[in-house]
Structure formats: structure tokens, C-alpha cells
Chains A and B, each alone.
Chain A
Amino acid sequence: DTEVTQTPKHLVMGMTNKKSLKCEQHMGHRAMYWYKQKAKKPPELMFVYSYEKLSINESVPSRFSPECPNSSLLNLHLHALQPEDSALYLCASSQTDGYNEQFFGPGTRLTVL
């Protein structure tokens, strides 16, 4: 089973709202990732967690706050977003953070009004 799940599928929020995106995998993977993808562009890496510790932050603005409560779960907390943050947010996981295959979830389509 190579399934990564994400909730919600769609999210519309105002610039003053606080919301969270959730990601879950039950493959025993120890690396999890957040990506942002704009239309007609490739995914852009935001954060990497390895063994529940943040290992890479690609200089993402602080209005995005990741959290890894345990090895199966990954959250992305959103606060005071801008309209240009509207995008498809993708979670992925891999066995470890080495040269392994990454499997993507279905994504959350975020619209910031």
C-alpha cells in the first residue's frame, strides 16, 4: 500500500484565518515532506521531516508552520496567508530521507481570499 492521505481536499480561507492541513501515511515511512505547487509549475519543496525532526526548511515564510506529532502524521498550520499563497499543497513520504522514492498524497487545493 503506497497511500498518503490528505485532508481537507479543498480549503478556502480569508487572510486573517488560522487553518491546518493534515497528512497521514501508514507505510512506516520515516521521512515526510510538504510541497507547494502552482498551476503549470513543478512542485516546490517547503519542509522535510526526518524521524519526526525538521531537517529542511526551504526559507518558507513563518505564516506556514509545520508540525510532525508522530511518525505517521504531518500537519501544516496556516496563519495570515496572502492571496499568492493559493496553490495545491502536497504531502509526500518516503522510507527515509535518502535516495528513496517519494509518494505523494492527493493534495489540498487552497484558496486564500
Chain B
Amino acid sequence: QKEVEQNSGPLSVPEGAIASLNCTYSDRGSQSFFWYRQYSGKSPELIMSIYSNGDKEDGRFTAQLNKASQYVSLLIRDSQPSDSATYLCAVNTGNGGSNYKLTFGKGTLLTVNP
């Protein structure tokens, strides 16, 4: 059973702080890793993708991947109330080059307080 685990949350941070969201995964063969943001009642929106070890920055968002530790994280700098949402970690796994699927974590609810 391929699993993706996220911080249980909810996570509450003050406006302007750094929010740190963490995710671990069980399948060592995983090759691509994604963070989706989902506002209440809306569909998931892709905000970051990362494929190789290290950091990837996009504006206020930084994704970090460590395949040896099977760990992926998302940092949100200068958090804004509009960042308040559920963040879903998703890992793309395949079986020997087929049956690729996204496995999602349960999500972490982030609240940014003004």
C-alpha cells in the first residue's frame, strides 16, 4: 500500500510568518511530487511540482525534496490570510513504468491569522 502522510494539522500562523508543511511517502520509486492548494468548496490548484532533490522556489513558495529520507515539504514565506486553505501533498507513483497515479495525503488545513 503506497502511502503519503502529512502533518495532521490544523496549522495556524500569524500573517507575515513562515508556514511549514511536511509530507512523507512510502514508495521509494516515486518520481514526481506536487503540492496542491484547495480552498473550501473549490477544486485543487497545483502550486508547486518538484522532481529532483533540493529546493525549488516560486515566489513566496519553496518546495524541498529529499528522496533519501522520502520527505517533501512546502514553505510559504510572508504568509497572507489568502493562503488559508487545505494543502494537499501528492506523489506520483507507477508500477514498473505503467499505472501512474497520484496518491494524495489527507491534507493540512492552514489558517493565517491577520
Question: Chain A interface (Cβ within 8 Å of chain B)?
Answer: 2, 41-43, 45, 48, 55-56, 88, 90, 97-107
With A55-B99, A90-B43, A104-B44 known as contacts, the answer to whether A98 contacts B94 (CB < 8 A) is yes
Cβ–Cβ contact B51 & A42, under 8 A: no
A2 surroundings in chain B (CB, below 8 A): 46
Distance from A104 Cβ to chain B, minimum over Cβ atoms (Å): 5
With A99-B31, A99-B92, A99-B94 known as contacts, the answer to whether A45 contacts B43 (CB < 8 A) is no
- B79-104: which have CB < 8 Å to A? 88, 90, 92, 94, 98-102, 104
What number of B residues sit within 8 Å (CB to CB) of A? Answer: 24
Task: Tell which of A97, A106, A107 touches B100, judged by Cβ atoms closer than 8 Å.
Answer: A97
Q: Is B34's CB within 8 Å of the partner chain A? A: yes
A45 surroundings in chain B (CB, below 8 A): 101-102
A103 surroundings in chain B (CB, below 8 A): 46
Distance from B92 Cβ to chain A, minimum over Cβ atoms (Å): 5
Q: Is B8's CB within 8 Å of the partner chain A? A: no
Cβ–Cβ contact A102 & B88, under 8 A: no
A98 surroundings in chain B (CB, below 8 A): 94, 100
Q: Is B106's CB within 8 Å of the partner chain A? A: yes
Using A101-B32, A103-B46 as known contacts, list a sample of 9 further A-B pairs with CB atoms less than 8 Å apart, ordered by residue number in A. Answer: A43-B44, A43-B102, A48-B100, A55-B98, A98-B94, A100-B32, A101-B46, A102-B46, A107-B43
Question: Chain B interface (Cβ within 8 Å of chain A)?
Answer: 31-32, 34, 36, 42-46, 49, 51, 88, 90, 92, 94, 98-102, 104-107
B98 surroundings in chain A (CB, below 8 A): 55
Task: Tell which of A41, A102, A106 touches B42, judged by Cβ atoms closer than 8 Å.
Answer: A106
Complex CA–CA separation, A106 to B42 (angstroms): 7
Cβ–Cβ contact A42 & B107, under 8 A: yes
Most B CB contacts (10 A, CB to CB) among A41, A43, A48, A56 go to: A43
Distance from A99 Cβ to chain B, minimum over Cβ atoms (Å): 4
Residue of B nearest to A99 (CB): B32
28 pairs, A vs B, C-beta closer than 8 Å: A41-B106, A42-B88, A43-B102, A43-B104, A45-B101, A45-B102, A48-B101, A55-B98, A55-B99, A56-B99, A88-B43, A90-B44, A98-B100, A99-B32, A99-B51, A99-B92, A99-B94, A100-B92, A101-B32, A101-B46, A102-B34, A103-B46, A104-B36, A104-B43, A104-B45, A104-B46, A105-B43, A107-B42
